[in-house]
Amino acid sequence: MRGVRRVDARCWAEAYDHILPEDHLPDPEAEPDEKRLREQFEYATTLNETESGRYVVAVDDDDGDATAADDGTAADDGATVVGFAATRWGDEAKSFVGDDDAGLWVLYVDPSWWGRGVGTELLDAVTSAIPTQFEHLVLEAFAENRRARQFYRSKGFETTDRIETSFWEETYAVVLMKRTLPR
């Protein structure tokens, strides 16, 4: 999970530097907290084992391409993590996700891999694991995160709402986006 935390920190530092205050952005070079690593791995494992979501990690296959079919175990085997994604549904989903929908909880790709198809591969991998009872995939993104919004629009998502959300006692505009799941 160290690789996942590294990708997470690099994405926050790159994608949110114009949105969040600098003191809220992680240091991509800092050593991750061991307790947090264990908690994240346990949560990812629980999602996959209880079928209340799907957690996928993309790793560098050493040919300059990435493979997004791993449940996170390769991340612990020394493989270079280049992205990760997770969906949640049912009781695990965020409050804006309807009963007939699944939520895209997170999708992050290492900035050095942006534009190389990793995000698409991750999205496809987590989407394919969503049970057929769910009709849509729903997500939230910072309204100011144009790169993310453009990516999701290119994958068939449409903006359905704009709401305010709070982080660290500050309010930010986010957009809710939705697409019909392929069946």
**Each residue's pLDDT tens digit, 117-163:** 999 999 999 999 999 999 999 999 999 999 999 999 999 999 999 99
Number of domains in the chain: 1
In a domain, 144, yes or no: no
The answer as to whether 143 is a domain residue is no
CATH assignment at residue 125: 3.40.630.30
Quick one: pLDDT band at residue 69, thresholds 50, 70, 90?
low
* Residue of 62, 57, 61, 65 whose CA lies nearest to 6: 57
Q: What is the pLDDT of residue 77?
A: 60
- Write down the pTM of the prediction: 0.86
Asked if residue 180 lies in contact with residue 98, where contact means CB atoms within 8 angstroms, the answer is no
Give a yes or no: residue 165 inside a domain. no
Q: Tell me if 166 is assigned to some domain.
A: no
Cα 14 from chain centre: 15
* pLDDT level of residue 1 (50, 70, 90 thresholds): low
pLDDT, position 37? 65
Both tokens of 42, joined, read 């346990």
Whole domain around residue 100: which residue ranges? Answer: 2-134
Q: Does residue 36 lie within any of the structural domains?
A: yes
In a domain, 177, yes or no: no
Contact 99, 133 (CB under 8 A): no
Please indicate, yes or no, if residue 170 is contained in any of the structural domains.
Answer: no
Is 6 a domain residue? yes
